[in-house]
Amino acid sequence: MTAKHAGQLLWTDLTVKNAEEVRAFYEAVIGWISQPVEMETRTDYMMVAAGERPTAPEGMDKIAAGICNAVAEIADLPPQWLNYWGVDDLDASRAACEAHGGRLLTGIKTHGNSRYCAIADPAGAVCGLFEQND
């Protein structure tokens, strides 16, 4: 594996139309603690694990997942947990996705110096790709 954690699960998000209700659900059911994150047009949530994480991606500490409001550019993402997998080169992975029958679901987005996007495989399963550059 490279410093970019290629092939490793780095993050998971849940994008839903009722993020406040779903946030409260996971707080009650799993014991997560939410931290609001103000986005341009919405408030999303970072869900923090009460215990220790086995291996947290750099800068994530005890953050376990994100719960996002399905609006604007992410309005059409399905209401399912979206896993983000580490890749060395996001552009090459996006090209390989299309070349092998997959679909690009979002444009490239940034988090600090890192880049990410959502794709669907040939069967329609959705996941995210994350090129870590921090």
Report the pLDDT averaged over residues 13-20: 93
For the chain, list the domains and their CATH numbers. 9-131 (3.10.180.10)
Per DSSP, 72 falls in state G
* CB distance 114 to 131 below 8 Å: yes
User: What pTM value is reported for the model?
Assistant: 0.78
Per DSSP, 61 falls in state T
Q: How far apart are the first and last CA of the chain?
A: 16
| CA distances (Å), origin 36, targets 67, 98, 123, 125, 129 | 10, 35, 34, 28, 24
Backbone angles phi, psi at 28, to 5 degrees: -75, -40
Q: Residue 41's pLDDT is what?
A: 83
Q: Residue 51's pLDDT is what?
A: 66
- Taking only the tens place, the pLDDT of each residue in 86-114 is 999 999 999 999 999 999 999 999 988 99
d(C-alpha 91, C-alpha 104), whole Å: 11
The type of residue at 114 is S
Weakest-pLDDT range from 73-77, 96-100, 105-109, 119-123: 73-77
For residue 53, pLDDT over 60 is answered with no
